[in-house]
Chain A
Amino acid sequence: MSTSVVLNQAVKRYGEVEVIHGIDLNIDPGEFTVFVGPSGCGKSTLLRMIAGLEPISGGDLLIDGARMNEVPAAKRGIAMVFQSYALYPHMSVYQNLAFGLETAKVPKAEIQQRVAQAAEILRIEPLLKRKPKQLSGGQRQRVAIGRAIVREPKIFLFDEPLSNLDAELRVQMRVEIAKLHKDLGNTMIYVTHDQVEAMTMADKIVVLQAGIIEQVGAPLDLYNNPKNRFVAGFIGSPKMNFLDATVQGSDAAGAKLRAGGSDIVVQRKIATGDKVTFGVRPEHIALSEAAGVKLAEVKVDLVEQLGGQTMVYATTDDSQPLIIAVDGQRQVDLGSRLTTYVDPARYHVFGADGRAI
């Protein structure tokens, strides 16, 4: 019943400038896919190409196997929720929801029934007579989603729909959109630059940078096995620590790295003398030997007590910053020296080209 979306070597050019460089992507029916990446990486552009708001300069877009490049936006069976909501300010909420159906010449009785149904799902029934300016940000967001729902599209597209909401509401709406996806079962594509949103909502995350795909995968897949340094740094919060390291020697057991002023043996095959990056997430660093192998001696610069977690900002002997997240409330003195340990299964090594080794 649900719908697949496929991109083959999709390219977008604005005049001379190419901003999307040949993207291949498979989105399975019913999947919740999140495009994530830093500002300007082309998330919105890619979404708008799928929507039909931007012409595709090269390659193919297939929806349910049919080529859609030249099909007008309204005929692609998609609905889109805009970051700005794009509600019509002069129409009531009801009229906003009904506009698309009226355009499609749906009979009046059916419009009423479909609007009522969407309003019930989103709990905006009491607001139907109001104008958008009489709504709060969260309510406007619901109306914008309602406008997509009433059209019963095959695919929902969201472009940073929550970025205008405050933190609390954002979490709440995030849950609601996820629930909506579960209830409706449609294919949904969601753009955000917030990696927490991506991690919590997605079946599949597409990490973009500068118009190319860095990695595609399930949230935990990206967290556990980032293919490169960019993805490793982008996914996960707080960010992964990166220590510059040199390979001192290498044998069958692994390579000996000099990182953070001390030596650590990693089970990788790397040539002696290579410059590499040693990556480890703050939550995978421990302060007791039981956790694994010794990483480095550090000096404590700053401590943040978050209640459930203690964040320690420290510097290694060769002046590289290292963030450590310790569970629970731990008393750590500023300026004190700590010895850090790391679980051998949970560190990452990246070559000079940024690729994971």
Chain B
Amino acid sequence: MTAQSISASARIKGGAVGSSIWSRAWENHAPGYLFLLPWFIGFFGLTIGPIITSLYLSFTHFDLLTAPRWAGLDNYIRMFTNDRNFVASMRVTMFFVIFSVPLKLAFALGVALLLNRGMRGLPLYRALFYLPSLLGASVAIAILWRQIFAGDGLVNQFLALFGIVGPSWISNPNYSLWTLIVLSIWQFGSPMIIFLAGLRSIPQDMYEAASLEGASKWRVFWKITLPMLTPVVFFNAIIQTIEGFKSFTPAFIISGGTGSPINSTLFYTLYLYNEAFSFFRMGYASALAWVLLAIVAVFTAFSFFTSKFWVHYDD
């Protein structure tokens, strides 16, 4: 067959089935779309579908058993005018994010700087330090954490050696949130790995030039290392902040799902979860979820806006 006759027969075939773009696309790429099908099902059925549904539900009252009743903006109005728990959970989550993210990043950067000095057994240390990140958000670790910080837990047993009687860290509202912040900092592995990669990519002769000019380690860190690392800092900050807003498991396990004591660990996500699955207020929970999304989006947009002023991209 000549090239001409092939294209002619293709045209006839295409014309016979239908002339819309879609049917022609299907005609030409059917096997490709079939291979994509599992992903399409997952994406539309399990991701996009629920997202759109939750947006709709956020404008309804819905208890899972009876059909949703249209509520207009009721849920949102109640959230912003008449819900002390919303305010409390927002405050807890903000506190958590504001303290855990910078501390975690600082800690991750500090360890990365130590490891970057090129010590023996670096791969081993890297793996060991990364381990908590893999385990950290799991139920098992949260339970372990509860044991460690309980009234008769490891921390207090250790303190007892020095004659100090420690409080029950997790059931004292003054400390309970801080134990969760410490747990979060302990999972510094993944930002650390990224920092380490960033440090490795700073050209060595930059440091050599600085050392010829007599710059101290301190000055080199602040004037060269840190500025050149800002793209990585920025990336880590965004990712960790989103993680922080989404944080759920540790608070759920440690407080037994209640946000106790006296709402001191009532994370936003925990509150949302309770509204949905303890009190079956699906409509309200959906509205909470959308507000969280909006907050994270605003935060991220703001970060990108400020990045112009402090993130240095080379070339």
Contacts and interface: CB of A to CB of B under 8 A. Distances in A.
A112 B315 CA distance: 27
B211 A86 contact: no
B205 interface: yes
A90 B211 contact: no
Interface centre among A52, A53, A82, A90 (most CB of B within 10 A): A90
Interface string B200-241: 000101101111111110010001100110100000000000
Interface of B is mostly: helix
A86 B223 contact: no
A172 interface: no
B222 to A, nearest CB: 12
Contacts of A99: 210, 213, 215, 223
B314 A89 contact: yes
B312 interface: yes
A170 B310 CA distance: 36
Nearest to B212: A73
A86 B206 contact: yes
Interface residues of A, number: 24
A86 B209 contact: yes
A151 B219 CA distance: 18
Interface residues of B, number: 21
B315 to A, nearest CB: 5
Given A99-B223, A100-B214, A89 B228 contact: yes
Interface in A60-102: 72-75, 78-80, 82, 84, 86, 88-90, 99-100
Nearest to B216: A103
Nearest to B209: A86
B213 A100 contact: yes
Contacts, number: 65
B212 A80 contact: yes
A75 B314 contact: no
Nearest to A82: B205
B268 to A, nearest CB: 36
Contacts of A103: 210, 213-216, 219
A74 B230 CA distance: 27
A51 interface: yes
Contact of A151 (B211, B213, B216): B213
Nearest to B311: A90
A103 B212 CA distance: 11
Given A104-B214, A133-B314, A86 B227 contact: no
Interface of B: 203, 205-206, 208-216, 219, 223-224, 227-228, 230, 312, 314-315
Interface of A: 51-53, 72-75, 78-80, 82, 84, 86, 88-90, 99-100, 103-104, 132-133, 147, 151
Given A86-B208, A88-B206, A132-B314, 4 more contacts: A73-B214, A74-B214, A86-B205, A100-B213
Nearest 7 interchain pairs by C-beta = A74-B214, A100-B213, A89-B314, A90-B312, A86-B205, A86-B209, A90-B227
17 contacts: A53-B208, A72-B214, A80-B209, A82-B208, A88-B206, A89-B228, A89-B314, A90-B227, A90-B228, A99-B213, A99-B223, A100-B213, A103-B210, A103-B216, A132-B314, A147-B209, A151-B213
